[in-house]
Amino acid sequence: MKFVVTGSTGFVGRNTVRNLLNSGHQVIAVTTNTSVSNDILEYIDGSEVLIVNSLNKIPFDILSGNVIVHCAWHNVQNVFDTYHFFHAFEQLKFLEKICISKPAKLIITGTCSEFGTRVGPVSIADMPSPNTPYAEAKDFVHRAAVKMISIDKNIDFTWARLFYMYGRGQHKQSIYTQLIDAIHRGDKVFNMSDGEQLFDYMEIKQVADALCTLAVKKSPSIVHVCNGYPISLRRLVEKILKAEGSSLTLDLGHYPHRAQDSLAIWGAESFETQIQ
């Protein structure tokens, strides 16, 4: 049995590949990225790399009998892009192929954005209320996957909703990467919102640990990958500044809150509690 990780050159995928490799597992790292940087190669070195034009080009024999950790999704930075709706149908074609292949286990990464601007703790029993094309497309794929996979009771399936993440290698538009870049440039001031948003932040290595745990053990049909408590964005930024030994000044309130985001959302239970 091998572990197949799609989206293996993305932020979540590459860290998941590295975690599985470090645990001694055989990994097939699947990507549609034809140009992989040396930095990304550090993460997936030691895996069998499969480059395909589309997910549906993955051979049946690679999917059959193996554990699939499906992280692939296009253009997650632009949540308002209506292409997400079209991409959802590409995802369903891939899911159809997975169902035919009969993997040992399937984990698909979802997002807490499926809950839209809901405020407060959210549990796996709460109904999604997506408010962007990205979140709507993700929720659609989840509902379709449940119906498709329920036909075949032999597929062990988990929808792993990821909450807020940060860490090395995150997209350049993320506040973490912008902050680290500002520190390395020697900037004196960092512009941000007032930082009062309350989110369930998890460092990317913890996220990868959680996905790898789900990959090797029996797990619920929905799992929230989160800490189960919120911290403010300002507190997180100050924590990173302290870890980096930086005296950068924060210009709080320079930017408004993002309209598509909740002002406060976190998991009702920790990841560990959900999988006990």
Chosen CATH of 3-164+202-225 out of 1.10.3720.10, 2.20.28.120, 3.40.190.10, 3.40.50.720: 3.40.50.720
Domain boundaries, the chain: 3-164+202-225, 167-199+229-268
Span 81-108, pLDDT tens digits: 999 999 999 999 999 999 999 999 999 9
Model pTM?
Answer: 0.95
CATH no. for 167-199+229-268? 3.90.25.10
Please give the pLDDT value at position 242. Answer: 97
Please give the pLDDT value at position 37. Answer: 85
Angle at Cα 256 formed by Cα 250 and Cα 260, nearest 5°?
125
Averaged pLDDT, 139-155? 87
Span 148-179, pLDDT tens digits: 987 766 789 999 999 999 999 999 999 999 99
Range with lowest mean pLDDT among 38-52, 125-139, 185-199 = 38-52
115-119 — which CB contacts under 8 Å span 24+ positions? 115/262, 115/265, 116/262, 117/260, 117/261, 117/262, 117/263, 118/262, 118/265, 119/262, 119/263, 119/264, 119/265
Please give the pLDDT value at position 134. Answer: 98
Averaged pLDDT, 181-209? 97
Mean per-residue pLDDT of the chain: 95
The more confident residue out of 114 and 36 is 114
Please give the pLDDT value at position 212. Answer: 97
